[in-house]
Amino acid sequence: MADHIPLHPVPRSTQRRTAYYTSVPAAQRHNRYQVEDESSHLDEMPLMMSEEGFENDESDYHTLPRARVSHRKRGLEWFICGGWKFLCASCCDWLINICRRKKELKARTVWLGCPEKCEEKYPRNAIKNQKYNFFTFIPGVLYEQFKFFLNLYFLVVSCSQFVPALKIGYLYTYWAPLGFVLAVTMVREAVDEFRRYQRDKEMNSQLYSKLTIRGKVQVKSSDIQVGDLIIVEKNQRIPSDMVFLRTSEKTGSCFIRTDQLDGETDWKLKVAVSCTQRLPALGDLFSISAYVYAQKPQLDIHSFEGTFTREDSDPTIHESLSIENTLWASTVVASGTVIGVVIYTGKETRSVMNTSNPKNKVGLLDLELNQLTKALFLALVALSIVMVTLQGFVGPWYRNLFRFLLLFSYIIPISLRVNLDMGKAAYGWMIMKDDNIPGTVVRTSTIPEELGRLVYLLTDKTGTLTQNEMIFKRLHLGTVSYGTDTMDEIQNHIVNSYSQMHSQSSGNSTSSTPSRKVQSSAPKVRKTVSSRIHEAVKAIALCHNVTPVYESHAGVTGETEYAEVDQNFSDENRTYQASSPDEVALVQWTESVGLTLVNRDLTSMQLKSPGGQILTYYILQVFPFTSESKRMGIIVRDESTGEITFYMKGADVAMSTIVQYNDWLEEECGNMAREGLRTLVVAKKSLTEEQYQDFENRYNQAKLSIHDRALKVAAVVESLEREMELLCLTGVEDQLQADVRPTLEMLRNAGIKIWMLTGDKLETATCIAKSSHLVSRTQDIHIFRPVISRGEAHLELNAFRRKHDCALVISGDSLEVCLKYYEHEFVELACQCPAVVCCRCSPTQKAHIVKLLQHHTGKRTCAIGDGGNDVSMIQAADCGIGIEGKEGKQASLAADFSITQFKHIGRLLMVHGRNSYKRSAALGQFVMHRGLIISTMQAVFSSVFYFASIPLYQGFLMVGYATIYTMFPVFSLVLDQDVKPEMALLYPELYKDLTKGRSLSFKTFLIWVLISIYQGGILMYGALLLFESEFVHVVAISFTALIFTELLMVALTIRTWHWLMVVAEFFSLGCYVASLAFLNEYFGIGRVSFGAFLDVAFITTVTFLWKVSAITVVSCLPLYILKYLKRKFSPPSYSKLTS
């Protein structure tokens, strides 16, 4: 098959492929494709793309999946359907790109402590989350507003009033509402923007110590420049990307926490540049002439290439710099004080390059209403054309057509936007005032309805689902298992075994060593539980990479200094440092059962026994943990006996083949994993002096070889890793956040699909997915094998396709490969899974996954996270939720909603999401109904009066109708709720109905249109029928009946009454009755030309009252009956629960 693969040159990826073909030996290559060929015969279920895909040129691969999705018709239809918007947007983008030509990123030479020597101008080191600046604010907000068809339409209508021939009524009837809408929007945006500015300012004004020739100076984070020497204290955020020059730690290295950058929980060890670390004092950094050469800024947070050069020494010192010499911005120093030279600032730092620009989010409900307003506009044009046609196209008919368009312009109500925007503000206020979810902040007030429409929830793991605090839970010795409640037994065993040893060694102190020798050569007896516990605990206390640190509070200079351990191993001020929190948990546990790690340096470590003796062990070799080997080992020599022991701990996959045969390990590992514990297998092997010497020689030789060094070293170590004695199995729990399990279960029952995207390791991610019940106990987990080529991805996807109802776990690299070749197919398969876990995801990858889901499914997505590495994902999602974590506020600041605990998301979606969506849908449709009913009356009026284009109601009546007479009752719909909050949380299944979008659709809209036409017709014809004698009173009668109808309709729509609603109804009625008395000149027909004024005497007559009542009853009663029948015969799902 290898021979059939044509290698067409593809401009972009030729080199990489050629390299592959040259690097893989021909036989192996042929072999590999042979395997693929065989398996392709086995594959009865090819992917949606045929096998011939392999014969295609690779350049097609990038386009295959997308081609199907984005095939659209062009031409006039395209232009009308949104092409004009696309063209405008393209032009704007082109203009913006010309204005802000991106500066090319270049490699740089940075002189230590001399920012003025920089050849280029680098960006300011300021954090900026704002959308606008001082100049772009007004144009930006106006563009965002008039992008909506609704507002653009009003702008055109209002402007038309400046043309005398088209003028209908007063200018203020059109401009006042429009001005009000814009004012409200601008104020709201300005407040949001100002808050963002304040939050950025707080971050930018954090103070740091900068080293200058004259000593230390305090400098703001935003004023840091490339070339500055910055001092960062323990637990302080690193303000910009730096090269690590020196540290207060004696070892010349320090730990940093990177969970804000990549989401990984383990601390990273960073190493200072040795040339500067060796300098005697801090000030000497200025006495040397040195510079750092750094590559150009990049996205990749896991790589860096640079050199450090000191010129004034003889010979010139060159040191190569790699990722371990860097301190990236947004990470936190975990130990000691560090000094670094700044190499990248602001926009060029790794953390900022990995975050995307915030986009303006528009809710789905707003888009749906925008579609409905377009439909209304078409109805408006049709109605106007019908009117002009019935007139018979006499005179200047096009002018009449335009006048009709303006007369009926109330079909599209301007108050729709005002009401909705005020509604959104009200929902935001309700969310923030909810005592059940304290500390919740609404940062984007325009999209509360989105919370009710979510289908996909993408969550981070570290700090969001877990607390990132490890607790030792279980020790299993094969025959006996100890849990948290039986740890005191272990403590007793340890105390006893050490006191026995102590008495033994003191009893025969003269001949202690020989007696031990005799012991070891005795025949093997079955060990007692006590001795096995002793061995296991000792192994856990020795096999690790943890360093105890003592902080003495007697620092002279006010800085925390790390005292040399003056045999003062007091427990109060001891803290442990390690690259992984698991290891710290294990060492803290051995301390709790009596065996304490008190000191460690490069060559030895000291343990304190329960009796207070200090036991010293010499460290001969350490084999660190790597993601490939999944295990770590250490060889130690006991000072008192001279015994050499090789201890090892690692993942069960790696260790099961290394330890001696046993029948319990696999089963117990499975049990612990199901409980969500992270398991480690601990084993040991005793070595004789000769065995160790032989090993050491081979090991050193392997380390010196030039070719395949890593392979040779691994082979030597593996020679030791045979037939090791299995000591125990440990289980450590990464504590989940409060109530994560019930919350995830609730969300799953609500029909929300949950994806976990994490930067952490595959094992950890799978473990948490199980313990948090993201994957239920009965479900299988399909772990997607690592793939690197197209063929492998094809086979692996086919394997996955055969599985049903199982969760998917995939790593970031494999995901990249699948998306490159089979994007459409992969997303389709993944979306059918009940849960998906992506591990080892970079921040940009997280955002990419969100966009993929939006693009392929068209459903609403929500992202939730707590770290800086989640910002891109939060900004890309339709609705971003940030958690204020221990590690800073970066995510919560960038999010649309900020919460304090993961469990609050349940109430936020089930209760507030539901209410916001339902209320806005009711409010929007009601406001449209209010406009339609008055337009129907105008149409009936005009057709009765020989199709005259004159208004039925005068300016003030129209404005009053939309505001003071009906606004409060209509707006009080934002207090309505169909289900009590307790019910919504108890039956999350109710949420599924919302995602179908049935509360606001063309169907419900048409029902409202029919109601409006029916009521408008009844009101107008009724008024004309009953008032033949006093024709002048038509306006008063019809308008009064209209107001009554509206108030009754609000009452009909409400599902749960609130006292404010009742107040609003009566207040509006009062306002109307009062205005009848004072504004009587408005109740004539047309202008005063009809000569009719209204006398108060007429309003108070019984005829007026019964006729108004009759019309109102005819217009409303049928609807009440219909509603009652519908409630009785097809009740909505929620009413079944409430009854």
Q: What is the Cα–Cα distance from 198 to 443, expressed in whole angstroms?
A: 13
Q: Measuring CA to CA, which residue among 437, 435, 459, 438 is closest to residue 744?
A: 459
Q: How far apart are alpha carbons 599 and 603 in whole angstroms?
A: 11
pTM of the predicted model as reported, rounded to 2 decimal places: 0.76
Write out the E strands in 286-364: 290-294, 306-310, 317-321, 326-327, 332-333, 338-344
What tokens appear for 22 in the block?
A: 């040259």
Query: What are the structure tokens assigned to 522, written together?
Result: 């005795």
Amino acid of residue 155: L
DSSP β-ladder status, 441-442 and 290-294: unpaired
Which two structure tokens, joined as six digits, stand for 982? 């307790």
Helix, strand or coil, per DSSP, at residue 599:
strand
Six-digit token string for 1127: 């409630």
Q: What is the mean pLDDT of each run of 10 residues along the chain (1139 residues)?
A: 44 42 43 43 43 38 38 51 65 64 80 85 88 89 85 87 80 79 85 88 92 91 94 93 92 85 77 91 88 91 88 87 91 91 93 80 91 92 90 81 86 83 93 94 91 96 86 92 92 91 66 38 63 94 90 47 49 80 92 92 90 93 83 94 95 90 90 84 95 93 82 90 93 91 95 92 86 87 92 94 92 93 94 93 91 95 90 93 78 91 96 96 93 91 80 76 84 91 94 91 94 94 77 77 93 91 93 77 45 54 85 93 90 75
Torsion of CA 90, 93, 94, 95, to 10 degrees: 120
The pair of structure tokens assigned to 478 is: 């094969």
* Token pair listed for 191: 């407040």
CA distance 660 to 668: 16
Phi then psi for 736, rounded to 5 degrees? -80, 155
Q: Tell me what pLDDT residue 88 has.
A: 64
Q: Which residues pair with 605 in a beta bridge?
A: 600, 617
Structure tokens at 1051: 């009452």
| Partners of residue 561 on adjacent β-strands | 552
Q: At 242, list the tokens.
A: 């730096």
253 burial level (CB within 10 Å; 0-12, 13-18, 19+): middle
Positive or negative: CA dihedral 186, 189, 191, 196: negative
pLDDT given for residue 79 in this prediction: 55
Query: Which tokens sit at 519?
Result: 């012991």
Residue numbers annotated as active site = 460
What pLDDT, on the 0 to 100 scale, is given for residue 859? 94
Burial state string for 882-894 with b = 16 or more CB within 10 A and e = fewer than 16:
bbbbebbbbbbbb
Q: Determine the Cα–Cα distance for residues 1061 and 972; give it in Å rounded to an integer.
A: 5
* pLDDT reported for residue 513: 38
Q: Residue 124 is encoded by which pair of tokens?
A: 């300011």
- How far is CA 82 from each of CA 75, 149, 371, 804, rounded to the nearest angstrom? 11, 12, 12, 40
